Amino acid sequence: MKSLVELASVIRTKNAGPYELTIDVIFKDRKIYERIKKSNSLDASVIARLYGVPESDIITAIYFDPACAFKATMNRKVPCGDFGEKDIYGAQQHAPLLDLAVQWGDEDDSDS
């Protein structure tokens, strides 16, 4: 297992409209990205568990090859700008990902 923070150069969230939040995890290089993708360490069930939402609230969870990234979009718990909403830009919702350990396996352990 390795920390996602060790493997990614960018971990961020942002609004995808007033009712949705997008998560971006951009990996440091293609080798890391391909290894994570092969292990399928990130998927809708992982995002749902981390954010405490039903998996049905995860709209998409995909690996995006051109950017060496994992992207997920989910329904916001509270619409942007609504009463009780605390992050109007959706830019402070990445914290659950910071402690995530992902499957790393035994491939080429020289860089583990």
Predicted pLDDT at 77? 87
Predicted pLDDT at 84? 85
Predicted pLDDT at 60? 98
Predicted pLDDT at 111? 52
pLDDT, mean of each 10-residue run, the chain (112 residues): 96 96 97 95 96 97 98 94 90 94 70 50
What is the residue whose two structure tokens read 């499957």?
103
Alpha-carbon gap, residue 40 to 91, rounded angstroms: 25
- Overall number of domains in the chain: 1
Phi, psi (rounded to 5 degrees) for 13 = -130, 160
Q: What is the pTM of this model?
A: 0.89
Alpha-carbon gap, residue 95 to 8, rounded angstroms: 14
What domain range is 7 assigned to? 2-111
What are the distances in angstroms from CA 28 to CA 7, 13, 19, 109? 6, 17, 30, 17
